Amino acid sequence: MKEVFGSPGKVSGLVLRIGQFLSAGASCGAMTSAPGFSVSTAFCYLIASMGIQALWTFVLACVDIKAIRLRRGLQSRTLVSLFAVGDWVTSIVSLGAASSSAAVMFLFVVDTELCNIDQNLGCNMIEISIALAFFSWFLLAISSHAVLWVLASVE
């Protein structure tokens, strides 16, 4: 299989997965610790999607570690296809969740100024969580493209 930056079974791929796992986990943690996050369904959806992303990237990081320890790339086409589908579904869900939360937050901060009015709403923590979610999605998008590229080049 072709070698590109971030492809599965490579050190660059593992670094991306660890970054995705840490930022998704941190995003999830920041949102759950923000007071009053349950005011909008979008924030709850962000927690769910970041939780799924953390779980998915943790499994893939383990597969990458195994492949690196055995000093060989991932040879199975079926496994790489599974990675591609999973990565794409997760990245679409993550981008949707991050954008949704950002839109609601923009409504609270700029359009209605609810963050200034309601001091019980943990706007700062929610903003940090959204920024981490976008960062996590960005790393996942790189991995998704790398996996698709590897898959297409061996077709």
- Residues within the interface to its own copies (CB under 8 A): 2, 39-42, 45, 92, 95-97, 99-104, 106-107, 110-111, 145, 148-149, 151-153, 155
- The least distance separating its own copies from the CB of residue 70, rounded to whole angstroms, comes to 26
Burial string for 113-127 (b: 16+ CB within 10 Å, else e) reads ebbeeeeebbbebbb
In degrees, rounded to 5, the angle at the alpha carbon of residue 90 between the alpha carbons of residues 103 and 95 is: 20
Under 8 Å between Cβ of 135 and 95:
no
- The least distance separating its own copies from the CB of residue 107, rounded to whole angstroms, comes to 5
H or E element that contains 94: helix 77-106
Which residue number, 17 or 145, has a Cβ lying nearer to its own copies? 145
Output helix, strand, coil percentages for the chain, rounded to the nearest 5: 80, 0, 20
Rounded CA-CA distance 130/118 in Å is 19
Which residue number, 59 or 152, has a Cβ lying nearer to its own copies? 152
Which residue number, 20 or 144, has a Cβ lying nearer to its own copies? 144
- The least distance separating its own copies from the CB of residue 54, rounded to whole angstroms, comes to 20
- The least distance separating its own copies from the CB of residue 46, rounded to whole angstroms, comes to 10
Which residue number, 49 or 57, has a Cβ lying nearer to its own copies? 49
